[in-house]
Amino acid sequence: MSPGTGVIWGRPERAERGPAPSLSREQITAAAVRLADAQGIEAVSMRALAVELGVGAASLYRYVARKDEVIDLMVDAVMGSDLQFEVHGDWREDLRSFAHGLRAMILRHPWTAVQSAGLRSFGPNTAQCHERVLSSINGLGVDIDGMLVMVGTLDAFIRGHVLDELSEREAVRRSGLDQEQWLQTQIPYIESLIESGRYPLLTRVVLDARAPHDPDRLEHGFEQGLERVLDGLATMLPR
């Protein structure tokens, strides 16, 4: 089978003929993850990866056919090493554990927020992860399509919330201001909105809501939203 044919996990790592490889998929993947963690997924190119590994860019094509395969390997690697959750038989507790595990993994590797979405590929670690998540809701009386809806809904909530967290992290990095400092810079403009009388609900948010000033608002927001999502999923179960 040629280097570019079929799914990468379905191909042997080492060609049957030719010189012995000086690298392994694991080494290539680890280097790519380091680059993405440090500089973002855009920094991962075959050329940059070759520099990181100290080899010629052309030599990498003996191991992978294109950059997409490198990304598939990266996602599967962190799914295996960094996505930690427990499955003990209580579906709500199991999905809660998965949600916290996926959130933590994405916050450690922000590039996975999009790259690991959508079940794009099923590397061995990714397949095992989805098998475990589905097993946590198997036997509850929901058919397989309903199970996929449950997992997909939960996954969408997790990723949506984490993208907000990452966006705020990036805004803090760019501005040098944390949430409370940023709010202080907005006071004159917000006061003008309130005084206009056109935004009664926004006025209530500014004057009465505690969440925007909660130093742990992201954690608390995730916890509260997760429980509402689990409540919604519970309505899919037979009585």
pLDDT of the residue at 12: 84
pLDDT of residue 43: 93
The mean pLDDT of 197-222, rounded to a whole number, is 87
pLDDT 10s digits, 152-177: 999 999 999 999 999 888 887 888 87
Interval 221-227 mean pLDDT = 95
What residue segments make up the domains of the chain, in order of their start?
Answer: 8-79, 83-175+225-234
The CATH superfamily assigned to 83-175+225-234 is Tetracycline Repressor, domain 2 (1.10.357.10)
- Strand, coil or helix: 32: helix
Q: What is the per-residue pLDDT across 67-111, written as a single tens digit (0 to 9) for each?
A: 999 999 999 999 999 999 999 999 999 999 999 999 999 999 999
d(CA 122, CA 26): 17
Alpha carbon of residue 1 to chain centroid: 32
Amino acid at 39: Q
**Does domain 8-79 sit in CATH 1.10.10.1150?**
no
Residue 6 backbone class (left: φ over 0; alpha: ψ -120 to 50; beta: rest): left
Q: Above 80 in pLDDT, residue 4?
A: no
Residue 1: pLDDT band with limits 50, 70, 90: very low
**Other CB atoms closer than 10 Å to residue 201's CB: what's the count?**
7
Both tokens of residue 33?
């993850």
Average pLDDT over residues 115-142: 86
pLDDT in tens, 18-40: 555 678 999 999 999 999 999 99
Name the token pair of 238: 């037979």
134 CA to centre of own chain: 18
Residue 111's Cβ-count burial label (10 Å; 0-12, 13-18, 19+) is buried
Q: Rounded mean pLDDT of the chain? A: 89
pLDDT of 17:
56
